[in-house]
Amino acid sequence: MTDALVIVFVKNIKLGTVKTRLAKTIGDYGAFEVYSELVKITEKATSKLNVDKRIYFSNAIIDSKWENNYKAVQKGLDLGERMFNAFKDGFESGYKKIVLIGSDLPEISETHIEKGIKALDKNEVVFGPAEDGGYYLIGLTRLIPKIFENKPWSQSHLLKVTLQELQNLDLTVSTLDTLNDIDTYEDLIASNFYKNNQKLQEKIQQLND
């Protein structure tokens, strides 16, 4: 067992349930292809990390993903409750530093995650800000329930509201590089992930011809 734990939240890659905002433009099959690629990037970014990992799926465990790692299904009514429960399980297991990431970031790398873990040597909380006003990474040295309660999930002021609350609680907080996740068609076509992936471009083109 390592001191640090990385938790990955993954949506089960099911047609019609992933990247629904993106699907409005490129269709369910296109969104399915994009998210499948993003999960591969996340799997690659976490594969070389020298710490324990726990993979939490939204609905059902997929054996072919993250082989030989601890896997579970997310528990909770909203994102906050699901994250809280995953952190709670981790701290109860004895981990000292826990970082949680999503699985829809085209630019995520092991370096971002390692920086998140390292930031917890000197801070109680770390965030990886997303360009849309949310965050792609959150790390804690202990369970702080307030972070997960009554938050504007998927809204552009999520991180701002959360940081303000933590300031009021007088907690030490660090932030990492800002990254862009892919929620809309505009996000997709602006990303190097899409521009440099000829195969994905062709698939989406074929699906929308």
Match 């939240």 to its residue by tokens.
9
Domain boundaries, given as residue ranges, for the chain: 4-207
Q: How far is CA 195 from CA 98, 188, 189, 190, in A?
A: 33, 9, 7, 8
List all residues 6 or more positions away from 23 whose beta carbon is below 8 Å from its beta carbon.
16, 30, 31
Q: Name beta bridge partners: 9.
A: 56
List all residues 6 or more positions away from 197 whose beta carbon is below 8 Å from its beta carbon.
37
pLDDT value of residue 159: 93
Q: What is the pTM of this model?
A: 0.92
Class (C level, CATH) for 4-207: alpha beta
Contact (CB, 8 A) for 108 and 43: no
* Tens-digit pLDDT profile for residues 9-62: 998 877 777 788 888 888 888 888 888 899 999 999 999 899 999 999 999 888
